[in-house]
Structure formats: C-alpha cells, structure tokens
C-alpha cells in the first residue's frame, strides 16, 4: 500500500486531546428520550484532508433532527473556531437544554463552557474513548467525507469552505433520512410536512 500510495480512510488520531487542568462534566444523555428540536445539541471536530495539507471542521448539530446548525473550518486545533460556531448556532436557533461533546480540550476550555453556562445550558460530555456516545455526528462525518470531500479532493481552504457550504445546504434541505421516514433535517427541525415526490 505504501509503494502504491494507497492510504486507509479513517479518522486521524488525537483530535480529542484532553487538558487535565480543565473540568470534565458527566454524560447526561444515558436513557434520555430525545425527540424534539433544541432539546440536545452536540458538537465534534473532524480531520479534513485536502490535495495539499489538511484542516479541521467543527459542527454544531441538533440531535433530534440531525440538522447542522453551524460549522467552521480551521487550520489549527484552537478553541476560537469552536466558540464561533457555538455562538452562531445560538444566535440563529436559540438555546438547547443540553449540549453534548467529547472531552477534547476545545470543548472543556473555559472559553467554550462559559458560553454554555452563561446561557444556562446543561453540559454533557462523553466518556473517554466513547465515540458511540456521539454517534450521530460520527455518521455525519462519514456522509460528508464519502459524499463530498473524498470525491472532490479540494485544493484550498476557500474551495473546501465553498464546497461544504453547498453540501450542508443539501444535507439540511434535500437529503432524506431513512430514520425520519424520508424527511430532511430541516423538515424535522421546523416540523414541516413531507414534500411530494415529482410525478
């Protein structure tokens, strides 16, 4: 594989580096029925390869509808792009009751958790190594990579940003979800009726 330049497609390691000085919060979603918008939001960061180099993508998602509420790109794993995405989601969609993340240092930072506490949002965090606690975002990463990023091999951050803007609009407004009886995330989030299929 090395001689042929073939590389396995998988999440790169060490995206969720903890900071031992940051406070960790308990996981609040165990056994919880999440069936309405703005009950629980979740966030995660993924590694995005490009033709030359890479960057990181953070997404804020509504758990019940799978709607992508906001997203940001960064070429470093700083906290600012995560806080910017969080603030945008709150500005556009209000406040969730609970916000769930992993224990990565971006999400345990004071800058991030202060925004949640200031808005009386309960903070929930996955257990270490418990990727399945945030399974809906893990499924989103697979979709966005296999349906867009790997197919288009973006050459620059500006190309990637434009491409993801188009993809997330498609994902929210047009991509049907089997679990939602062929409704889109927007239809579930805004409680819209089914669209009729073309004759």
Tens of each residue's pLDDT in the chain, 199 residues: 666 656 565 544 445 455 455 588 999 998 999 999 999 999 999 999 999 999 999 999 999 999 999 999 999 999 999 999 999 999 999 999 999 999 999 999 999 999 999 999 999 998 655 556 678 899 999 999 999 999 999 999 999 999 999 999 999 999 998 888 889 999 999 997 755 443 3
pLDDT in the model for residue 192:
77
**Rg over CA atoms, the chain:** 17
pLDDT in the model for residue 199:
34
Report yes or no: 49 and 79 within 8 Å, Cβ to Cβ.
Answer: no
CATH number of 40-189: 3.30.420.10
Q: What are phi and psi of 177, to 5 degrees?
A: -115, 125
Q: In what order do the strands lie in the sheet with 122-125?
A: 68-74, 54-62, 40-49, 98-101, 122-125
Give the Cα separation of 152 and 145 in Å (integer): 10
pLDDT in the model for residue 198:
38
pLDDT in the model for residue 92:
97
Tokens of 19: 């900071």
pLDDT in the model for residue 196:
45
Tokens of 80: 């600012």
Distance from chain centroid for Cα 145:
13
């Amino acid at each position: 594989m090395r001689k042929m330049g073939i590389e396995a497609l998988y999440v790169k390691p060490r995206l969720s580096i903890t900071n031992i000085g940051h406070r960790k919060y308990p996981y609040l979603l165990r056994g919880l029925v999440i069936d309405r918008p703005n009950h629980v939001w979740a966030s995660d960061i993924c590694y995005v390869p490009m033709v030359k180099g890479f960057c990181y993508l953070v997404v804020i998602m509504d758990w019940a509808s799978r709607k992508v509420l906001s997203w940001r790109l960064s070429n470093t794993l700083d906290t600012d792009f995560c806080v910017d995405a969080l603030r945008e989601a709150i500005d556009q969609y209000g406040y969730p009751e609970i916000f769930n993340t992993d224990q990565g240092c971006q999400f345990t930072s004071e800058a991030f958790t202060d925004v949640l506490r200031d808005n009386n949002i309960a903070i929930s965090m996955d257990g270490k190594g418990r990727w399945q606690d945030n399974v809906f975002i893990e499924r989103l990463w697979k979709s966005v990579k296999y349906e867009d990023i790997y197919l288009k091999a973006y050459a620059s951050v500006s190309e990637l940003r434009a491409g993801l803007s188009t993809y997330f609009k498609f994902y929210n407004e047009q991509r049907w979800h089997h679990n939602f009886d062929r409704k889109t995330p927007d239809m579930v989030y805004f409680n819209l009726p089914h669209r009729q299929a073309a004759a």
